[in-house]
Amino acid sequence: MVDTRPFLPVSSHAGSDPTGPSENRRKPMKLQLSIFFVLLTVGFFAALLTSNNGSDNGFVKENEHGSLASPSSEKQLRPVSRGPAVGVSEKSNRLFAKDNENQLAYPWNNSMLSWQRTAFHFQPEKNWMNDPNGPLFYKGWYHFFYQYNPHAAVWGDIVWGHAVSKDLIHWLHLPLAMVADQWYDKNGVWTGSATILPDGKVVMLYTGSTTENVQVQNLAYPADHSDPLLINWVKYSGNPVLVPPPGILDKDFRDPTTAWLTSEGKWRITIGSKINKTGIALVYDTKDFINYELLDGILHAVPGTGMWECVDFFPVSKTEENGLDTSVNGPSVKHVVKASLDDDRHDYYSIGTYHEKNGTWIPDEPKIDVGIGLRYDYGIYYAAKTFYDQNKNRRVLWGWIGESDSEAADMQKGWASVQSIPRTILFDKKTGTHLLQWPVEEIESLRLKSYEFNQVKVQAGSVVPLDVGPATQLDIIAEFEIDNEALEKTTGSNVTFSCSSSGGTVERGALGPFGLLVLADDSLSEQTPVYFYIAKGSDGKLKTFFCNDQSRSSVASDVNKQIYGNLVPVLEGEKLSLRVLVDHSIVESFAQGGRTVITSRVYPTKAIYGAAKLFLFNNATEASVSASLRIWQMNSAFIRPYPNDKESQ
Amino acid sequence: MKNLIVIIFAFLVCQANAFRPILLLGNQNLIERTCKQTPFYDLCIWSLKSNPESRDASVKKLAQIMVDSLKTKATETLDLIDELLQDGLALDPEMQKALTSCAERYNVIIRGDVPEINEALKTGDYKFAAKGANDAAIEANSCEIEFPTKSPLTDMNKVVHDVSVVAASIVKIIQTKFSF
């Protein structure tokens, strides 16, 4: 009954109108209503159709890349953190915990906060720092660049800071090397690496975040190659030299590596990325650092690992105790691929073989492939990068150590983050699967007074104070021997142990935990244990774990209280050995010569200044241990601006 | 005839209402699926749906909407704290101390965490978005436990905490499940 002639004029007398004048008034309304219905119907159907198209696009995308609706089908590669899913923030702080009397809400005063600043670890004078960039040795100086926020103690507005040192320990701050002054790095002058050419010149490749937030690679070089301090840098006028290739998204393309030579005499670099959830490393060849060819294949990929940031690729000698230039290859050489996983903020490495012809790499042990196996450091440690130090023929590793306190504290104290002490990297010949990291020997120049303790017996369930004077700047080398009888007598069990899911040092086993309590006050109300835990399997085999327990490191409630650590291989005939660097709010611990390393940030409120002490402890139930130690007081490195340099950072 | 027209009209209007859920279903589904991956589903749904920009939004935009909500809630809480502090005569010293340090924490959320999250979302370095969101939750929590007895901010602290956690969860979805 609806009139479907929408375009008849409302008050026409021209059309047939048999109903006469009395119906004239109803006809216009009928027409209006008809038009209205038709338009309404058409409109609704049109909207229905177009909305389906729009939503289809969204659905297709999700289904391709992993359905949102079936989290149960996600394969868990590692234990899920006790994160937001259980109402606990990533820092594992308890929500609204008022019942625990030991929790102090906001104890931070300036005295506590200023104590946190380190004495001999690299950090700028103030504000935020993250990734190490472009480390190199040039004309007598070690250079260090870093991601820096000139404006605040949180990440943002990133530019390149710069410092130099003669010995990797005593650093002098220089002016900012690069700032965000081009369209291709306006939204961030991000991480990059240096390559030293055969003629001694330096080129730097780095990632820029453009004005459109696309990640691109840029070339920069020193303005004056005869300046040993490399103060001024020039960006290549034709930047960017690389943009995301087809199939790679705008925000998944960053952190180019140092280049190495191929057998064809070209330079080769790798850049981390991802495809869906598979972390990958792209490979490019270049002759001039300006024009690049993307290799058909990729260096390597590991499904499920997500975005690979700060990829590093380098050779290690299977036989010699020295480092190798990045271009070295040969039968007695293995290659390491390392990636920083954006998903879990940890650095992973794997040892394998590099196939030069097609630019691929295969891990020796696929079970401990990149991202699913070994980590450089089981604590707070990220974005690490190595360089070949041609001065001393060694490969040196830098790593960014963030804060694990609240940003409120960071903003109050005016700074955030430090770098680890640079570490030498060597292939561990004894295990064949691990790398060994060790603080560079130059750190020993900071050693002052030393204390020696021989065969100190620590009974099961006891604590022994070590009188070393002030205990906030220490270099500790220790060896532990565990009571053999207890090792043999103890019955094994099938219970699996892990540092992070254990109860920390209050969880007593037959053969552990035992080790050191650093940054502990006399009453042990605050303490940071660095320790071993030996677990005996039901097959009688021993497994040694190396852990760092932050759960009682501070009575403050807004700091990380997790327990870090991992298995450490201990070979037949080896004693348990430990080295610990204590430097105010950072503790770096090395087990078995650097086979397993843990770095943590510690923020005590009481165990600071003269109140911080050092103890041996043994909380095992059955075994006694004996410990021999050498402990040094450590001097400050007096890190400061380069003399006569008016600009401070 | 007129009655018939009226009936048909009414019928079409009902049909229109029946169509509406389908019209919005496309993006509603994305919002629901996203919120299911967060520990505070209802809060997530409410925060996103009450913002008209969520209608055709990508997951990344949903994260940004959540961060805007965080900023709004944090600013409201800070305003309340300032009001309470101005009522100085009625406050005991412990309450005053707690409120002052809460004000500092909320300043950090608004001037430190939120800009950090926004820059990270914009440039694609998502781990810093997660860091800022997680920190906001810590700051809200830390404020709440300042008060030795009854906190005047419990409800608001809880909202800010929960919104931060939801934001962090959405960032995690972007990082681990999506390509952008």
Q: What is the CATH number of domain B28-176?
A: 1.20.140.40
Q: Do B141 and A558 touch (CB under 8 A)?
A: yes
Count CB neighbours of B58 within 10 A. Answer: 15
- In a 10 Å sphere around its CB, with 0-12 CB exposed, 13-18 middle and 19+ buried, how is residue A642 labelled? middle
Mean pLDDT of the region B40-57: 94
Q: Do B141 and A95 touch (CB under 8 A)?
A: yes
Residue % of chain A over a pLDDT of 90: 80
Q: Indicate if A385 and A466 belong to the same structural domain.
A: no
Which amino acid is present at A492? G
**Residue A76 forms part of a structural domain:** no
Of A439, A459, A476, the one marking the end of a domain is A439
Q: Indicate if A323 and A417 belong to the same structural domain.
A: yes
Rg of chain A (C-alpha set): 31
Q: Indicate if A378 and A277 belong to the same structural domain.
A: yes
Residue A114's contacts (CB-CB under 8 Å, 6 or more residues apart) are: A413
Of A420, A439, A458, the one marking the end of a domain is A439
Tell me the residue range of the domain where A557 lies. Answer: 447-634
DSSP for residue A556: B
Q: What is the CATH number of the domain that holds A617?
A: 2.60.120.560
Q: Do B178 and A274 touch (CB under 8 A)?
A: no
Q: Which residue has the tokens 């159907």?
A: A45
Residues A518-577: pLDDT tens digits?
A: 999 999 999 999 999 999 999 989 999 999 999 999 999 999 999 999 999 999 999 999
Mean pLDDT of the region A111-134: 98
Q: Indicate if A380 and A453 belong to the same structural domain.
A: no
The SS3 of residue B157 is helix
What is the layout of strands, in order, in the sheet containing A511-520?
A: A462-466, A613-618, A511-520, A528-536, A542-549, A563-567
Nearest-by-CA chain A residue for B118? A156
Supply the pLDDT for residue A20: 41
**Residue A499 forms part of a structural domain:** yes
Which amino acid is present at B69? S
Q: Indicate if A420 and A561 belong to the same structural domain.
A: no
Q: Indicate if A524 and A403 belong to the same structural domain.
A: no
Q: Indicate if A472 and A545 belong to the same structural domain.
A: yes
In the predicted model, is pLDDT for residue A45 greater than 50?
yes
Confidence of residue A71 (pLDDT cuts 50, 70, 90): very low
Confidence of residue A425 (pLDDT cuts 50, 70, 90): very high
In the predicted model, is pLDDT for residue A580 greater than 90?
yes
B89 to chain A, closest Cα gap in Å: 23
Residues A171 and A466: their CA atoms lie apart, in Å, by 32
Handedness of CA A550, A552, A555, A558 (dihedral sign): positive
Q: Indicate if A524 and A585 belong to the same structural domain.
A: yes
Residues A184 and A312: their CA atoms lie apart, in Å, by 24
Supply the pLDDT for residue A95: 36
Mean pLDDT of the region A104-129: 91
Is the model more confident about B64 or about A79?
A: B64
Q: Indicate if A245 and A393 belong to the same structural domain.
A: yes
Count CB neighbours of A635 within 10 A. Answer: 13
Residues B136 and B108: their CA atoms lie apart, in Å, by 8
Nearest-by-CA chain B residue for A191? B125
Residue % of chain B over a pLDDT of 70: 83
Chain A positions touching B26 (Cβ under 8 A) are 51-52, 54-56, 58-59
Mean pLDDT of the region B65-86: 96
Which amino acid is present at A279? G
Q: Indicate if A352 and A211 belong to the same structural domain.
A: yes
Question: Total structural domains in chain A?
Answer: 2
Supply the pLDDT for residue A2: 46
A39 interfacial to chain B (CB closer than 8 Å): no
Is the model more confident about A54 or about A268?
A: A268
Chain A positions touching B173 (Cβ under 8 A) are 68
**Residue A285 forms part of a structural domain:** yes
Question: Half-sphere exposure of A245 toward its Cβ, with a 13 Å CA cutoff?
Answer: 16
Q: Considering chain A, what is the average pLDDT of its residues?
A: 88
**Residue A98 forms part of a structural domain:** no
Cis peptide upstream of residue A124 (ω within 30 degrees of 0): no
Do the interacting molecules here have an ipTM over 0.85?
A: no
Residues A284-308: pLDDT tens digits?
A: 999 999 999 999 999 999 999 999 9
**Residue A49 forms part of a structural domain:** no
Closest in A65, A155, A411 to B128, CB measured: A155
Chain B positions touching A342 (Cβ under 8 A) are 126-127, 175
Q: Do A155 and B172 touch (CB under 8 A)?
A: no
SS (H, E, C) A188-229: CEEEEEEEECCCCCEEEEEEEECCCCCEEEEEEEECCCCCCC
Mean pLDDT of the region A247-259: 97
Q: Which residue has the tokens 């020193």?
A: A222
Q: Which of A179, A183, A186 lies closest to A159, judged by CA?
A: A179
Q: Which of A52-61, A596-605, A630-639 has the lowest mean pLDDT?
A: A52-61
In the predicted model, is pLDDT for residue A515 greater than 80?
yes
Confidence of residue B92 (pLDDT cuts 50, 70, 90): confident
DSSP for residue A75: P
Q: Indicate if A576 and A624 belong to the same structural domain.
A: yes
Give the count of Cβ contacts less than 8 A between chain A and B.
Answer: 197
Confidence of residue A49 (pLDDT cuts 50, 70, 90): low
Contact A505, A619 (CB under 8 A): yes
Confidence of residue A46 (pLDDT cuts 50, 70, 90): low
CA distances from A554 to A150, A560, A602, A608 (A): 30, 9, 7, 10
Q: Indicate if A199 and A342 belong to the same structural domain.
A: yes
Mean pLDDT of the region A392-419: 97
Mean pLDDT of the region A601-625: 97
**Residue A48 forms part of a structural domain:** no
Q: Do A33 and B5 touch (CB under 8 A)?
A: yes
Q: Reply yes or no on whether A549 is catalytic.
A: no
Domain boundaries, chain B: 28-176
Residues A332 and A337: their CA atoms lie apart, in Å, by 17
Of A410, A439, A468, the one marking the end of a domain is A439
Mean pLDDT of the region B155-168: 97
Confidence of residue A54 (pLDDT cuts 50, 70, 90): very low
Cis peptide upstream of residue A240 (ω within 30 degrees of 0): yes
